[in-house]
Every structure is written in structure tokens, then in C-alpha cells.
Amino acid sequence: MGRLFAVEIVYRGIFQKTLAKNISRGIVLAASLEGKPGTSFGRYGDSPERNGIPAKYFAIVATDDLTLEEGMAKYEPKEVDITVCVDDTLCKGVESWAWYGLQPINRLTKAGGTLIVTSKEPPEKLMPMIHQKQDPYKLAVLKGIPSFSGLWVYKDDHTDVRILGAIAKLLPDMLKLDSVKQFILHEWNDAVKVQSATNSYNRITAQNVSPSQGNPEKPFQFELLKWHEMRDGVSIPCIAPGHKMDDPATHATGGFQPARNPTFKKWSTRTMRPVIDFDTCIKCTLCWLQCPDSCFDVTPEGLYDANMEACCGCGVCEAVCPVKDCVTMVNEVAFKDNSSQWEAWRKNKDTYNTWLKGTIANKADRSHGFRYKGQYEEQTPEMLEIAKSS
Amino acid sequence: MAQMTATLPERGTEETALITGSEAIAVACKLADVDVITAYPIRPYDTVMQYVAKLVANGEFDCEYIVAEGEHSQFEIVKHASACGARVFTGSSGVGWMYAMEALTVTPALRIPMIAMVGNRALDDPGAFGVEHNDALTVRDLGWMLVWVDTAQEALDTALIAYRVAEDRRIFLPCGISCDGAFLTHSQAMVKIPTQDQVNKFLPRYNRADLLLHPDNPITVAPQANEDWVMEIRRQNYAAMERVPGVIREAYADFERIFGRKYGNPFFEEYETADADVVIMGMGTLSMPTRVAIRKLRSEGKKVGMVRLRWFRPFPAEELAKCLSRFKAVGVLDRDFSFGSPYMSGVVATETRAALYTDTISKHPPVLNFIGGLGGREVTVPDVEKIAHELYEAAEGKKKPATQWIGLRE
Ligand code: SF4
Ligand code: SF4
């Protein structure tokens, strides 16, 4: 048997679909220039995609046809040489709508394989978000803001070719830089893109990650039921109605916290989350009313606490809130857990408000697809600048 | 119609009425106190909806009677009503049944004990009113129970039995009762009408229990589920279908005890098989000319018997195979077709051959298939005699085609 290579591209559904497809196809087409057969496919269960929900593309390349067949005999690869993560907030894990529990971003990465993350953050900042892995592997950070587009628009900020350049450097047995360049010229006939791929090839470095590094938490998971344990009639119990909330400071009870889906946590489905200034909230109810996912718990005193077991990070609450800076969407990299902001505020208002101001002031770039006219024109030069500099 | 309403029995006294197979089913609906009935006209099923409508209009029968705007809605409405705990009845014929196909597909998976009468009719084109069994047979792989009846009395009795079986919590599957268009739906016969007391004793109220769609029992029905769940869901329906034969046996035994009418083996009826050399098998009203021909053949010294299949789903494979292996040749008379199927045979012949191909049966008689009676064409006594003749030749070892068409102009 010859050699088999597998690459997974973990991306944000819809926003990065074209990007993931370009990378995956690029790997296969560039490898084919070296006479290596391959296949590229999106994970079927991720389709139809949802905005921002983690999804996967796979590229499989082999040194010969029979070996490729070994790779294709599986529904999807059980391990990969390279995991490409095109949005750094996905380092917290992958919880797609087609499977269950939180899968660490490096779950499929082989021992000795490489996790490539596009981010403006340094590796030290990303490491605590990535779950620990039993086997050593490598982490390579490709500098850049997450490249988000829409379903019908593609922001050509060279992220696709920069990833290809990085892969050529990290796994030359699968793909050489020359093939990547040749592929780019053939596909786009764009010398600047070739330059971007070359720059990234020259610049990318990988560092070793030991089993002791990373987030030590055991990722959330649950057992799928056996057929005779399941309810019949294709029926599932509804989520229970909910209950009053407890005030951690006074132990008064009141308000209402709806019960939530116990198995779909949505922790990794969002790229940003609202932070709330409870001192300026005028209790107008708009966030509670407009949130598409019924995230807001009503506190005993009638405030609204966005529950992170339900939030998909859409930003509607921020858009509808009539009070300036009362709701601010902040990039997920700023948060270590999913705990209640209101409880923190009740326990110690000063500490909370200091945290709130700091978090808003130092927030990383937000990202949630195409949000306003002119957004890409603003972002593309920045990305091109990053791509050119070495 | 007037006769039927005039002769409907008082509570507590069994009476006899001259009614069609369709009327018999309507009477069964009344006796079963069905809650929701939906209808959309197509011949020959529409006779049932007329009789039900009349019962409702005369104030004899209290039910929600909804005429839908097409068969798809017709079946969807009762599906939902059944999920909410209502006993339901509906039905159709031919391409009407096909128009409801999407609803027919989702009904078994949701474990809906819907009872539907199929007034068997040829599928278009050409537009033809007469009987063919292909309409009901299209759902044979989907989890429907399917039964074919022969007489108006059997139609009434089987409808009551169907409710009892389908609404059993161990089962909760839909059941299609096939009545041959014209031969059964439109011909009147003397039918014993059971008393309400008997029916009440036999048929408990439908209890949707833990699957009831009601605010007090908040459940989600039919969510999207992909490869992580689908096999387990199918396996559950397999388990339900596996339990059906046992529940059918219980129901027929209870039926006999309460109503005093015997059906013997619930799954198929044997006629003159004890000493038979060859047998002719089929479903529905084909039994009439077959019985007559058998009596004639026997008077000529030819030991011919008949096996009339009642329950096609679940298919009584083991029992049937054991029965058929006793004979020197078996002729299956299919009032249906399955173009391109193995040996270009009909559906019943194909399934019968598959049932015989098992290691518990050592003797395999030749199974000849006869396609006949399509589009409502009469299967005549001489046709049956010809079949018997072919079977005897096959029994003697003469090579015969696997499939022959009978009653065809050629
Ligand atoms: S971002 Fe706001 S509106 Fe959107 S899901 Fe989260 S809490 Fe609800
Ligand atoms: S929209 Fe803003 S002001 Fe209104 S209740 Fe929500 S957080 Fe408070």
C-alpha cells in the first residue's frame, strides 16, 4: 500500500463554506499535478448548513488509486495529518448540528500531525482554548482575521491560498509549493495570490504541543441511546418548562429561567456573545423578546441575563437594545467559561463592572459573516497587508 | 342504502342486513365509534364515504366527518387526529391512494394506528375503475399491515379486528383493508351485524398513552434525525411488525369467543387442501370462481385445493411455506403485476417463492404464476380450470413457464 494523506478543514457553516471548499479542492487539484489522486468532500451531515455552526470539509490524497480507495472506504477519515481551523473561536471545540457533544478541535489530528489555526492571537492565547490531547502534535498559527463571507459572496482575501502555502511547508510529502503555485495560476491566473501562498510558505512555523498543554476539561459528551431504550413513534420528550431563578446574593427567588436542550449546548456554535451592563439596563424587554433562541433568563429583579447554553451569537440583542453600550457583542476568545454574567454582577458589582469595561475596551475583532455594506472593502486591504508582509 | 339503515340492529340483538362490502365497512366504523373520518371521492372507495355520510346525516353516527381537498390532506388529517388520540378511518382507491403516498409513507414510522379501506382499483393509465391490487401493494415495504377480504361479512369483521390489532400499544401501526372494487365494494350480501355490546366487549377505547400529542404530555413528534438515529428508529418499526402475528392471533381468538364466528387460521384460508395434489393461491374475491372450479374439478377426480391469503403484511412466510410444501404444484393467481420482477411474476408469486426458499423447508413444489383479472376483468371458472391443468402438468414434471397471463386476448 502507498501513502494516504488526509486533511480536515473545520469552518463556520455558510460564512466559510466557499473558503473551506477552495482549500479542500486546492489540496486535491494541486496534488493531482504531482500525479497523486484525491477526493474532496463536505461532511454530509453538516448540510444543510446553519449560519456559524461548525462544519467540516475533508481532502484525501494518496500516492496511488488503490490506496485512495482505502481512504474512501470510510464515511470520513478517522484521523488526519492536518486539521485546518479557519476561525480561532473554533479552538473551543466543534459541536455541529449533526453530531453530539463537544468534539475537541484536535480530535482527529494524528499523533505528530499539525493543527493550523488562522488567528491574530499568539499561540499562548489559543492554547488554553484547545483541549488537551493524549499524543503530542504541532500547532501552527497563520496570522489573519477570520475570513468570513456569506452564502452568495466570497471575500477573496487570500486565506485559501495562504493555507495551501502553509500545508505545502508542513506536509511536503503530500504537496509541494510548486504544485500549489501551478494550481493557483491555473485556477485564478493571479500572481498576487501566488505571492501570498509563497509568503505563507516561508513564514509558517509549527511548535510542538505536549499532552500536558491545553484545556484540561473533559469535553461535554453523551451516549446515544440503543434502539430499545428510545421512545418509539419518532417522538422525543419536550424540554421541561423552566423554573424561578435564585439570587446568589440575597437568595431571593423569582423571574424565570426556561429549561434548555440538555444535549445541544451551543457553546461552540457562536463566534461572539453579548456582555450586558446590568446597571444601565432599562428593562425594556426587547432583547428577551427578539432573541431568536430564547436565551434570556429573567432575573428576580426583572433584568435579562443571556444564557450561554442557548446563545448562538447572532447579535440581535445588541442591535435591538435602545441603551448605548448596554449590550455589546464580544469575540468568544475573550471568555474562558459559559457562566452567568448576572450572577457575577450580583456577587460583586465592582468586580463585574471592571471586567465588563475591560472586556469591551479590549475586545478582539468581531466576526459573524457579512454584516454591513463596505465591510469587505474595509477588511480585505488589512488581510492583503498581512499576507504580503513577512 | 335504505335497506341498511332500516335494518341496523338495536343494541343487544344481532341482526342480518343485505349490504355491500363498502357498507359493511361503514357499519364497522359506526360500531367502532370512530372519532374522525376523512374522505375524498374516488371510485370505488367513494361508496364507503357515501354510506358514512348518510349515517352521520341520519344522526345514527357521531363523528368528525371531513371531506378534504385531496387524498394527501385526507390522510394527513387523520394521521394528526390519531396522534391526538382519536380513532380514525379513511381510505382511497387506485391513483387516489398514490396521491396520498407521502402521507402513507410517514404514517407507520410515527406509529399511527390508522385504518384505511382500499377499494382496490387499477392504477392509471388508462383510467379504469376495475380492480387490481397494485394500489394497496405499493405500501408493502413501508410498515403498513395489509389484509385482503373476500366477503362483506369478512370486511365488517376484519375492520373491527384491524382496530383491535392496530391500536394495541405493542403495535400502533396503520392497517389497509383491501376490498376488490366492484366484486366486493358494490355487491350486496347478507351480513350479520354484531351488537354494540359485543363490539364494546371486543374493542377497548384507543389509548395513545405515552405517544399522545397533548399539552399535558409535551412531546415532539417527527424531528429531523440523521444517521445517528435512523437505523434505531427503523429497528423499532421492525420490532412492532414482528409482534403483529401474535396480536392478530389473540384478536381472532377473542373475536371468535365474543362474536361466535370462526375464521380458523387468521392468515390464510385453506379450501379443500387436506388431500389436494395441487393448490391455487390468491387474494380477495378471486376465491369465488376458484371454489366453483375446484368443486367441478373434484367431481372429475382432480384433487385441487385453494389457499386464500388474507394477511399480506406481515406475510405469514413460515406457516405458508409449511402449508404449500405439502403439494405437488402451486399456482399463484396475481391480480397485480410487477414489471421486471424476478421471472416477470406478480407480487404475490414473487413473495411466495421467497417464502419457500428457506432451510426449514426441504421440499419445494414448482410455483407457477398466473397474472389475471387485471383492470377488473373477470377470472372465469374455465380460467381456473386451465390453471389447474397447468399445475397438474407441472406436477408431472413437465416444463412450464414461470409466469403466464390468463384471460388475455391472444
Ligand atoms: S446573540 Fe443575543 S439575540 Fe443572539 S442568540 Fe445570543 S442572546 Fe440571543
Ligand atoms: S434590550 Fe437592553 S435595555 Fe432592554 S431589557 Fe435588554 S438589556 Fe435591558
Q: What is the pLDDT of residues B219-232, one digit of tens each?
A: 999 988 888 899 99
ipTM tops 0.90: no
Per-residue confidence at A111, pLDDT binned at 50, 70, 90? very high
pLDDT at A187 over 50: yes
- Which range marks the domain in which residue A316 is found? 243-262+272-361
- Tens-digit pLDDT profile for residues B295-334: 999 999 999 999 999 999 999 999 999 999 999 999 999 9
Ligand 1, atom nearest to A315 Cα: 1
Chain A residues with CB-CB distance to B under 8 A?
45, 98-100, 224-228, 230-238
- Give CATH 3.40.50.920 domain extents, chain B: 268-405
A302/A348 same-domain check: yes
As a whole number of angstroms, the distance between CA A321 and CA A328 comes to 9
- Tens-digit pLDDT profile for residues A47-67: 777 888 899 999 999 999 999
A196/A283 same-domain check: no
User: Quick one: pLDDT at residue A97?
Assistant: 67
Q: Which of A294, A296, A317, A327 to mutate to test the pocket of ligand 2 (most atoms within 8 A of CB)?
A: A327
A39/A156 same-domain check: yes
Residue A377, H or E segment: helix A375-388
| Partner-chain residue, chosen from A98, A227, A238, that has the shortest CB–CB distance to B226 | A98
Q: Which of A295, A304, A326 to mutate to test the pocket of ligand 1 (most atoms within 8 A of CB)?
A: A295
* Residue B233 at interface with chain A, using a CB cutoff of 8 Å: yes
Does residue A378 lie in a domain region? no
A208/A248 same-domain check: no
Interface test with B, best of A235, A238, A239, A263 (most B CBs within 10 A): A235
As a whole number of angstroms, the distance between CA B403 and CA B349 comes to 9
Q: Which residues have any ligand 2 atom within 6 Å of their CB?
A: A 276, 281-287, 304, 320-321, 323, 326-327
User: Quick one: pLDDT at residue B341?
Assistant: 98
pLDDT at B4 over 50: no
* Residue B225 at interface with chain A, using a CB cutoff of 8 Å: yes
Does residue A319 lie in a domain region? yes
Distance from CA of A326 to the nearest CA of B (A): 36
As a whole number of angstroms, the distance between CA B29 and CA B48 comes to 10
3-state secondary structure of B22: helix
A195/A253 same-domain check: no
B218 contacts on A by Cβ (under 8 Å):
237-238
User: Quick one: pLDDT at residue A366?
Assistant: 65
User: Quick one: pLDDT at residue B184?
Assistant: 94
pLDDT at B135 over 80: yes
pLDDT at A384 over 90: no
Q: Is A314 in the pocket of ligand 1 (CB under 6 A)?
A: yes
As a whole number of angstroms, the distance between CA B394 and CA B366 comes to 7
Q: Which residues contact A251 (CB under 8 A, 6 or more apart)?
A: none
Which residue owns the Cα nearest ligand 1 atom 4? A314
Contact A234 B226 (CB under 8 A): no
Q: Which residues contact B41 (CB under 8 A, 6 or more apart)?
A: B49
Contact A227 B172 (CB under 8 A): no
- Hey, which residues does A4 pair with through a beta bridge? A62
Grid coordinates given for A361: 475596551
User: Quick one: pLDDT at residue B1?
Assistant: 38
What integer is the mean pLDDT of A371-381? Answer: 71
User: Quick one: pLDDT at residue B372?
Assistant: 97
**Contact assessment for residue A94 and residue A268, using Cβ atoms and an 8 Å cutoff:** yes
User: Quick one: pLDDT at residue A369?
Assistant: 59
What integer is the mean pLDDT of A299-317? Answer: 94
User: Quick one: pLDDT at residue B2?
Assistant: 41
The model's pTM: 0.89
A42/A93 same-domain check: yes
Which ligand is in closest contact with the Cα of A273?
1
Fold of B268-405: Rossmann fold (3.40.50)
Q: Which of A304, A325, A342 to mutate to test the pocket of ligand 2 (most atoms within 8 A of CB)?
A: A304
Share above pLDDT 90 across residues of chain B, in percent, rounded to a whole number:
93
Share above pLDDT 70 across residues of chain A, in percent, rounded to a whole number:
95
B166 contacts on A by Cβ (under 8 Å):
none
Cα torsion B105, B106, B109, B112 to 10°: value is -110
DSSP class per residue in B75-143 = HHHHHHHHHTT--EEEEE-HHHHHHTHHHHHHHHHTT---EEEEEE-PPSSSP--S--SHHHHTTTTTT
A130/A277 same-domain check: no
- Give CATH 3.40.50.970 domain extents, chain B: 15-259
B232 contacts on A by Cβ (under 8 Å):
225-227, 230
A156/A257 same-domain check: no
- Tens-digit pLDDT profile for residues B9-51: 455 678 999 999 999 999 999 999 999 999 999 999 999 999 9
Q: Which of A335 and A364 is assigned the larger pLDDT? A: A335
Contact A230 B233 (CB under 8 A): yes
- The overall average pLDDT reported for chain A is 92
Distance from CA of A82 to the nearest CA of B (A): 26
**Contact assessment for residue A164 and residue A178, using Cβ atoms and an 8 Å cutoff:** no
Nearest C-alpha in A relative to B218: A238
Distance from CA of A231 to the nearest CA of B (A): 9
Q: List C-alpha distances in Å: A80 to A60, A251, B393.
A: 9, 50, 67
Q: How many CB pairs under 8 A join A and B?
A: 59
As a whole number of angstroms, the distance between CA A85 and CA A80 comes to 13
Contact A230 B236 (CB under 8 A): yes
Which residue owns the Cα nearest ligand 2 atom 1? A321
What integer is the mean pLDDT of B159-187? Answer: 97
As a whole number of angstroms, the distance between CA A253 and CA A39 comes to 57
| Amino acid found at B367 | V
**Contact assessment for residue A172 and residue A100, using Cβ atoms and an 8 Å cutoff:** no
Nearest C-alpha in B relative to A235: B221
What integer is the mean pLDDT of B373-396? Answer: 97
Q: Which of A271, A293, A298 to mutate to test the pocket of ligand 1 (most atoms within 8 A of CB)?
A: A293
User: Quick one: pLDDT at residue B6?
Assistant: 43
Contact A233 B239 (CB under 8 A): no
Contact B219 A228 (CB under 8 A): no
Contact B228 A100 (CB under 8 A): yes
User: Quick one: pLDDT at residue B5?
Assistant: 46
Distance from CA of A94 to the nearest CA of B (A): 17
Ligand 1, atom nearest to A296 Cα: 7
Grid coordinates given for B226: 440523521
Per-residue confidence at B360, pLDDT binned at 50, 70, 90? confident
- Tens-digit pLDDT profile for residues A13-37: 999 999 999 999 999 999 999 999 9
> If you measure from the C-alpha of residue A83 to the centroid of ligand 1, how many angstroms do you get, rounded to a whole number?
29
Grid coordinates given for B363: 421440499
Q: Which of A273, A278, A285, A287 to mutate to test the pocket of ligand 2 (most atoms within 8 A of CB)?
A: A287
Does residue A166 lie in a domain region? yes
Per-residue confidence at B68, pLDDT binned at 50, 70, 90? very high
A175/A280 same-domain check: no
Would you call B98 exposed, middle or buried from its count of C-beta atoms within 10 A (0-12, 13-18, 19+)?
middle
User: Quick one: pLDDT at residue A41?
Assistant: 93
User: Quick one: pLDDT at residue A374?
Assistant: 73
pLDDT at B250 over 50: yes
Nearest C-alpha in A relative to B172: A233
- Please calculate the CA angle B384-B385-B387 and round it to the nearest 5 degrees: 65
Sign of the CA dihedral B399, B402, B408, B410? negative
- Classify domain B15-259 by CATH architecture: 3-Layer(aba) Sandwich (3.40)
pLDDT at B152 over 50: yes
| Partner-chain residue, chosen from A98, A224, A234, that has the shortest CB–CB distance to B110 | A234
Instruction: For the beta carbon of residue B323, count every other beta carbon within 10 angstroms.
Output: 20
A230 contacts on B by Cβ (under 8 Å):
229, 232-233, 236
The number of folded domains in chain A is 2
User: Quick one: pLDDT at residue B258?
Assistant: 97
Residues of chain B numbered 376-405 and touching chain A (CB < 8 Å): none
Does residue A344 lie in a domain region? yes
A180/A250 same-domain check: no
- Tens-digit pLDDT profile for residues A210-253: 999 999 999 998 889 999 999 999 999 888 889 999 999 999 99
Distance from CA of B203 to the nearest CA of A (A): 22
> If you measure from the C-alpha of residue A349 to the centroid of ligand 2, how many angstroms do you get, rounded to a whole number?
18
| Partner-chain residue, chosen from B225, B229, B236, that has the shortest CB–CB distance to A232 | B236
Question: What CATH number does the domain containing A163 carry?
Answer: 3.40.920.10
What integer is the mean pLDDT of A305-326? Answer: 94
Per-residue confidence at A73, pLDDT binned at 50, 70, 90? confident
- Tens-digit pLDDT profile for residues A155-177: 888 999 999 999 999 999 999 99
Ligand 1, atom nearest to A307 Cα: 7
| Partner-chain residue, chosen from B109, B227, B231, that has the shortest CB–CB distance to A234 | B109
DSSP class per residue in B258-275 = HH----SSSSEEEES-TT
pLDDT at A102 over 70: yes
A159/A66 same-domain check: yes
As a whole number of angstroms, the distance between CA A155 and CA A185 comes to 19
Does residue A380 lie in a domain region? no
* Residue B109 at interface with chain A, using a CB cutoff of 8 Å: yes
pLDDT at A360 over 50: yes
What integer is the mean pLDDT of B149-153? Answer: 97
φ and ψ of A44, to 5 deg: -55, -40
Distance from CA of A221 to the nearest CA of B (A): 14
A255/A136 same-domain check: no
- Please calculate the CA angle B359-B357-B232 and round it to the nearest 5 degrees: 85
pLDDT at B3 over 60: no
